[in-house]
Structure 1
């Protein structure tokens, strides 16, 4: 029996073979495809010199993204970092490649101030991290527990509101400046300390003052660029002096936490749902001035492909942070995926409550009509370089005195 191929069959078969070969070749080349690398790397330190100037690092990376596009790499000492700068790429990294980027890089700050990376927010991905996060979510940060602890947050907010009211009473004739950064810092600190330890710090409390200084140093040092994190051969040196400060801060935190544990042991033995406008303000503020603009760094634990580029194991991920809970990737101030901040629900609940209370009970004005300086001071959390001061109007306040924690 003679088998004869028609001309159309030959053409179709040949075309199919070429398509198959093109697919195989393209797949192999895509696997070896690398994202563009920023120019200007120096020997040994790479691009670290670009991030060590007066400009905030996330601003520097934004300018580089304008030049090199939404995805590129940099050399940070001996380590390679992948920079992504749009919503789609952030979505790809934190959904499709979520597991690949689920770990954290080892850093001196995490080792010296977070019990050798035992604090689960800074620990590497694995069984320990999963169990620690599960415990935190179940015991403290679940939606149910956040709602159950609302009375603590409301109580601390009322105390802070009353402090502003008391300042008014002491200065009935003159306008008085209120430094909002310190006011918010103290409010958040008291809420977290009350939830975790049951303690409360007054404005003149020596232990409270000490804890505020230690916590401020802790967050500042978490965001510094320690040379040995990027050039491991210099680990035995303390070139910048940060290691000494980290050790001291870690020891001070340990002493404070140890005191709280002893206190607990001794004790053991013996309507804001419909504020759509406020939600819009919060989202726009987090978009323009994210508290953690670069997020806590991720590190890939396996090879993956992002936007068609092959990303090798060990690459650190940086992305600039419309839903703020990690679902819409245009704005992710709390991160997304496996390493999303577990305290996002608690933070948003308290943010709504605090802003709504301030706006409802006070008419706050700036000291002058000059534009407010929004430049920041870099750390793991970006704070204002120049504190925000406001002028509460003299008494009487907007509402009845009973709402400020004082008698009618």
Structure 2
């Protein structure tokens, strides 16, 4: 095929014309908008090579879970990186000091959460607490959560529910005594039942079916969509199969939760008592009372109540059950730690038929085990934020609307801050004052700053009680033929084990 060649004069003319129009429009912009409006390119953090259209996606899709690949990239390009996932700018933080800059110094500038198709659908257009944009409505809802829903007093008042569910769990494990069983499923049922009873009270409905539906929805909510990566391409939001499945699930949940709310209203009108199991208020009662009070600056709706219920299941079930599952996995791999933890629990409750929650606080080594579990296996491996304002870190520009990801999984395994970081050593927390309250930026399992997890006390109470219960009542061993546990992780809304934990339990006869 013949190659078309342009004569030199023609090429020169085209280049000259291009240069002319460039300077013409450049000076026109200056004249109209002024010099101050013309900004030089900002200095972004370092980036690895990227591809057209998809940007840096190819660096993370080859590794699951993604926090592994982000750590490898950080080792090469530094603890502050700029990545482009499709159209979306993402800043990845992988060090304690930069995490402190983001979550403390610039906490207000990046106090929003990233928006996705899934979170918008399942959390009713962000009318909840976890994903709600920062502002007056968020402050109101967070205050309600801390003072009315999950205060220390309320968390303690749920002890009778934890005891009831622990008894059910014990009987269930006894039925499988001496043979392998799926401990992952039993832990999840325990945690979800507690959340169900504290949030929804004594409603009569298909509890197991509803829990399975919510679990399925949470799994889908942890997946990204093409529309999240290319928000300007509107067609992606119409052809999303994941969006279709989420809308279908939410329609089912809408009907269930709507009926629960109506039942609460009717029951209270008839009895003038709360719908909690002891006649007190459950969480829906509290929200309905506040809704009808007329005292809120920002009225809440039934959709707001549904979204907060979903918050409770997302933050109170998946994360807590995952934490206990990882703790049991590490204890099985570390017999010395298992023996020490069981000895402490059994000495504290020697000869008793029930575990008293007020005395769990004295189990110091159990707390160290939980701390170490959350360091190695934070239930949520990355803290997601979104920039409300531009700011700078270490001379680098952090753009408006960029997503910011703090890779707390990587920071928790960084040898700069932790001796033998890959080893499970609860004793490391005996010799330092590090805790999970958000002030130590090398250890942030619940986040930090304005968006620190508001359900932290509720989650820790459930984890401590269940772990103490499992260690006190049963001895544990791996099924025959299992030499070493597979500790592979799987990505999602919560970072859980890739395979369920199957163990053999025998009743403790001490």
Change in 2 beyond 3 A, CA 1:122/1:373: same
Structure 1 residue matching 2:235: 3-state secondary structure: coil
Structure-2 residue corresponding to 1:251: 251
Structure-2 residue corresponding to 1:273: 361
Structure 1 residue matching 2:360: 3-state secondary structure: coil
Indicate whether 1:219 and 2:230 are aligned.
Answer: no
Structure-1 residue corresponding to 2:494: 381
User: 1: CA distance between counterparts of 2:233 and 2:163?
Assistant: 48
Structure-1 residue corresponding to 2:404: 317
Q: Deviations over 1:28-81 (max 9, x none)?
A: xxx987343322322222112333335211111111111111111101121111
Q: Which moved more, 1:147-156 or 1:93-102?
A: 147-156
Structure-1 residue corresponding to 2:228: 229
Structure-2 residue corresponding to 1:133: 142
User: 1: CA distance between counterparts of 2:394 and 2:203?
Assistant: 49
User: 2: CA distance between counterparts of 1:306 and 1:283?
Assistant: 30
Indicate whether 1:99 and 2:187 are aligned.
Answer: no
Structure-1 residue corresponding to 2:508: 398
8 A contact 1:293–1:320 mirrored in 2: yes
Give the superposed CA RMSD: 2.1
Structure-2 residue corresponding to 1:16: none
8 A contact 2:46–2:80 mirrored in 1: no
Q: How does 1:138-287 map to 2 (within 5 A)?
A: 138-168=147-177, 175-199=178-202, 207-237=206-236, 241-270=241-270, 271-287=359-375
User: Residue 346 of structure 1: CA displacement?
Assistant: 0.8
8 A contact 1:181–1:388 mirrored in 2: yes
Q: How does 1:352-391 map to 2 (within 5 A)?
A: 352-367=464-479, 368-391=481-504
8 A contact 2:439–2:448 mirrored in 1: yes
8 A contact 1:36–1:71 mirrored in 2: yes
User: Residue 137 of structure 1: CA displacement?
Assistant: 1.4
Q: Which moved more, 1:45-54 or 1:256-265?
A: 45-54
8 A contact 2:63–2:69 mirrored in 1: no
**4+ residue segments displaced more than 6 Å:** none
User: Residue 82 of structure 1: CA displacement?
Assistant: 0.8
Structure-2 residue corresponding to 1:298: 385
User: 1: CA distance between counterparts of 2:87 and 2:362?
Assistant: 50
Structure-1 residue corresponding to 2:296: none
Structure-2 residue corresponding to 1:45: 54
Change in 2 beyond 3 A, CA 1:200/1:159: farther
User: 1: CA distance between counterparts of 2:487 and 2:375?
Assistant: 13
User: 1: CA distance between counterparts of 2:207 and 2:451?
Assistant: 31
Unaligned 5+ segments in structure 2 are 1-39, 271-358, 409-433
User: 2: CA distance between counterparts of 1:235 and 1:138?
Assistant: 41
Change in 2 beyond 3 A, CA 1:59/1:195: same
Q: How does 1:19-38 map to 2 (within 5 A)?
A: 34-38=43-47
User: 1: CA distance between counterparts of 2:80 and 2:380?
Assistant: 20
User: 2: CA distance between counterparts of 1:327 and 1:147?
Assistant: 25
User: 2: CA distance between counterparts of 1:98 and 1:51?
Assistant: 27
8 A contact 1:304–1:310 mirrored in 2: yes
Q: Deviations over 1:330-369 (max 9, x none)?
A: 1211111111111111111111111011001100111145
User: 2: CA distance between counterparts of 1:236 and 1:399?
Assistant: 64
Unaligned 5+ segments in structure 1 are 1-30, 169-174, 401-408
User: 1: CA distance between counterparts of 2:445 and 2:486?
Assistant: 21
User: Residue 281 of structure 1: CA displacement?
Assistant: 1.2
8 A contact 1:36–1:72 mirrored in 2: yes
User: Residue 194 of structure 1: CA displacement?
Assistant: 0.4
Q: Deviations over 1:180-207 (max 9, x none)?
A: 2111111111001100001489xxxx82
8 A contact 2:81–2:92 mirrored in 1: yes
Structure 2 residue matching 1:364: 3-state secondary structure: strand
- From 351, 357, 369, the equivalent of 2:463 is 351
Q: Deviations over 1:191-229 (max 9, x none)?
A: 01100001489xxxx823322322222221222121111
TM-score, scaled to structure 2 = 0.66
Q: Which moved more, 1:56-65 or 1:39-48?
A: 39-48
